[in-house]
Amino acid sequence: MRTVRGFQLMNVLLHELGHHHDRMTTRLQRRAGRGEPYADRYALEYADRLWDAYFDAFGY
């Protein structure tokens, strides 16, 4: 159960960080212009590195 909860939290965190990065890297920084596809790609791009660190810290 801990692994499932960890996956859900990590997945949501990375996706929402993708939205934040989208907003912070747009010219006016008022809204996330690239939307859901950008957030999904961002999450996938960083997932492997973050999962490795997660398992190092909390075990598997």
Residue of 40, 18, 17, 21 lying closest to 29 (CA atoms): 21
pTM: 0.75
* Single-letter residue type at 28: L
Distance CA 15, CA 36 (A): 9
> In this model, does residue 40 exceed pLDDT 70?
yes
- Residue 60, pLDDT > 70, answer no
Place of tokens 């912070």: 24
CB neighbours of residue 33 within 10 Å:
13
